[in-house]
Amino acid sequence: MPDAEWQIVGTVAAPANAAAGPGEITDTGFRSCYAHTAAGALFASANFLAMGTDSTLRADLPQLVAEGPGKIAVETVPAERSESARAQIAGFAVTSYSLDAATIDLALAYSDAQLVSLPIKVVWQDGDWKVQLDDTGALPIAPAPLQSLGGYIPWSGV
**Residues 113-154: pLDDT tens digits?**
899 999 999 999 999 999 999 999 989 998 999 999 999 999
77 burial level (CB within 10 Å; 0-12, 13-18, 19+): exposed
pLDDT at 82: 53
Give the chain's mean pLDDT.
Answer: 93
Q: Give the residue numbers spanning the domain of 81.
A: 5-154
Q: What was the pLDDT predicted at 155?
A: 96
Phi/psi for 43 (5° steps) reads -65, -35
- pLDDT mean over 94-104: 98
Which string of b and e fits 86-108 if b means at least 16 CB within 10 Å?
Answer: ebbbbbbbeeebeeebbbbbbbb
- What's the pLDDT score for residue 86? 85
64-93 confidence digits (pLDDT tens): 999 999 999 888 866 555 555 689 999 999
Q: Tell me what pLDDT residue 91 has.
A: 97
How many independent structural domains does the chain possess? 1
Average pLDDT over residues 3-26: 96
- 40-62 pLDDT, tens per residue? 999 999 999 999 999 899 889 99
Which helix (H) or strand (E) segment holds residue 73: the answer is helix 69-76
- pLDDT for 34 equals 98
